[in-house]
């Protein structure tokens, strides 16, 4: 029999704090101010952007006009764009049930969610200084046999990166050798309450040639329409010299990809400044053909077709050295739409009609928390 102490723990320690935070996110209370500030930061950090025009648009609540102004120096015209305010405050959580987002973001080992597609292996979790097996549940006492129990190779390098709703942008990603992992637990746990540990992935020679130190990926955005997912936009993300990730937060750049899998003429950095060549290697991007591009996109579309209550997803996908596509990460919130609109103008406009009311989004927040089985299409 479940006693009152159990329910007190569930309500006070789990349900209320978590639901209050998710309410603030899904309502737009957090994101509205954040993305108004971000629009001004783009203009302040990039001299080519008309700061005064951006300010006037924001003062008039013309957010689409503000973002069209931000993209103008790159595309050469005032294109119609989805503002990050309307996307992150309304559209994203109209399409994506926030409890399902929370489920996916909090468990980056997708096999533990029952998902079955080629993906990165997760060997361990680090939660508040304690080590757990790849299922995120079984605690592993730190001792002589810990490496063996987790199948961690002391001679191999591993990546420890944040998980959960606050993860993203490549922050707090650390490379550590297997033999040093346990000695670093305390320092790692100070960077994030929850981290996942994965082996370093070498991957295909094409992606390594772009920047050898980082894991370079394709970020593709898919939209579920009429029960079938379709590709909205794809960009190639490349890291900088010495960085282990391709994220903007680590200095990475992003290049648009056309329907044939060829790279477009320019890349952008986090301040939306254009680069015709890689800033470190000098490699030119224009016209480069991504090998096995279609197989990577098809993998993401097939994977999306098996998920419920997640209408728009951003997939980080790459190639193995054997030419097999591998999903690195699924992103269902904070999906960095700026990189798509800056290099693939107009690609995200099909998202415009998707807007639930504030009340409907709040019903999602306070509905029954889904199980792993609820995430998958029956």
pLDDT at residue 3, rounded to an integer: 55
Contact indicator for 248, 169 with CB cutoff of 8 Å: yes
274, containing H or E segment: strand 274-275
pLDDT at residue 14, rounded to an integer: 60
pLDDT at residue 2, rounded to an integer: 53
180 exposure class (CB count in 10 Å sphere: 0-12, 13-18, 19+): exposed
Look at residues 106, 202, 197 and name the one whose alpha carbon lies nearest to residue 159. 197
Instruction: Please calculate the CA angle 324-264-348 and round it to the nearest 5 degrees.
Output: 85
Q: Does pTM surpass 0.85?
A: yes
Ramachandran sector of residue 225 (left: φ over 0; alpha: ψ -120 to 50; beta: rest): beta
pLDDT at residue 5, rounded to an integer: 52
The 8-class DSSP code of residue 139 comes to B
Taking the chain, what is the end-to-end CA distance rounded to the nearest angstrom?
Answer: 31
- All structural domains of the chain, each given as residue ranges with its CATH number in brackets, are 4-93+359-373 (no CATH), 98-117+203-351 (3.30.470.20), 124-199 (3.30.1490)
pLDDT in tens, the chain (378 residues): 455 555 555 555 567 788 888 999 999 999 999 999 999 999 999 999 999 999 999 999 999 999 999 999 999 999 999 999 999 999 999 999 999 999 898 777 788 788 888 888 888 888 777 788 877 677 888 766 777 788 888 888 888 877 765 455 555 677 888 888 777 776 776 767 778 888 888 789 999 999 988 889 999 999 999 999 999 999 999 999 888 788 887 789 999 999 999 999 999 999 999 999 999 988 898 989 999 999 999 999 999 999 999 999 999 999 999 999 999 989 999 899 999 999 999 999 999 999 999 999 999 999 988 999 999 987
pLDDT at residue 166, rounded to an integer: 47
């Amino acid at each position: 029999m479940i006693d009152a102490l159990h329910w007190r723990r569930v309500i006070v320690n789990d349900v209320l704090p978590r639901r209050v935070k998710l309410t603030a996110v899904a309502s737009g209370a957090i994101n509205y101010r954040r993305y108004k500030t971000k629009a001004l930061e783009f203009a302040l950090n990039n001299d080519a952007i008309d700061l005064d025009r951006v300010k006037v648009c924001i003062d008039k609540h013309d957010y689409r006009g503000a973002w069209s102004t931000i993209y103008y120096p790159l595309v050469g015209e005032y294109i119609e764009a989805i503002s990050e305010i309307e996307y992150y405050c309304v559209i994203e959580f109209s399409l994506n049930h926030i409890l399902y987002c929370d489920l996916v973001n909090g468990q980056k080992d997708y096999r533990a969610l029952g998902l079955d597609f080629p993906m990165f292996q997760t060997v361990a979790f680090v939660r508040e200084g304690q080590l757990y097996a790849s299922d995120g549940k079984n605690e592993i006492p730190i001792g002589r046999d810990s490496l063996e129990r987790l199948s961690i190779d002391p001679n191999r390098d591993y990546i420890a990166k944040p998980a959960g709703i606050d993860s993203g942008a490549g922050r707090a990603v650390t490379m550590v050798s297997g033999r040093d992992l346990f000695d670093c637990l305390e320092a790692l746990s100070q960077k994030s309450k929850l981290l996942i540990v994965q082996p370093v992935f070498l991957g295909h020679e094409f992606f390594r040639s772009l920047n050898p130190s980082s894991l370079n990926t394709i970020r593709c955005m898919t939209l579920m329409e009429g029960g079938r997912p379709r590709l909205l936009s794809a960009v190639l993300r490349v890291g900088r010299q010495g960085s282990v990730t391709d994220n903007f937060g680590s200095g990475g750049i992003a290049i648009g990809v056309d329907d044939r899998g060829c790279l477009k003429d320019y890349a952008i950095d986090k301040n939306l400044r254009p680069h015709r060549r890689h800033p470190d290697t000098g490699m030119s991007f224009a016209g480069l053909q991504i090998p096995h591009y279609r197989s990577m996109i098809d993998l993401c579309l097939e994977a999306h077709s098996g998920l419920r209550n997640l209408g728009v997803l951003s997939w980080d996908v790459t190639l193995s050295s054997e030419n097999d596509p591998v999903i690195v990460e699924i992103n269902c919130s904070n999906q960095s739409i700026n990189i798509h609109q800056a290099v693939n103008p107009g690609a995200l406009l099909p998202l415009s009609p998707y807007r639930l009311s504030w009340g409907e989004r709040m019903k999602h927040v306070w509905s029954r928390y889904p199980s792993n089985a609820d995430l998958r299409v029956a």
